[in-house]
Amino acid sequence: MINKTKVFTPKVGSKGLMTLPKQVRDVLGIKEGDRILLKIEPDGRVVLEKALIVPANECILQTVER
pLDDT of residue 59: 66
Q: Is residue 40 part of a domain?
A: yes
pLDDT of residue 19: 93
pLDDT of residue 64: 61
| Series of mean pLDDT values for 10-residue runs along the chain (66 residues) | 84 94 94 94 95 75 61
Question: What is the torsional sign of CA 54, 42, 27, 2?
Answer: negative
Query: Domain range spanning residue 31?
Result: 22-58
Report helix, strand or coil for 38.
strand
Q: Is residue 7 part of a domain?
A: no
Q: Is residue 47 part of a domain?
A: yes
Q: Is residue 4 part of a domain?
A: no
In total, how many domains does the chain have?
1
Q: Is residue 48 part of a domain?
A: yes
CA distance 57 to 13: 37
- The DSSP output letter for 20 is P
Cα-based distances in Å from 4 to 1, 15, 21: 10, 32, 17
pLDDT of residue 62: 60
Find the CATH number of the domain harbouring 28.
Answer: 2.10.260
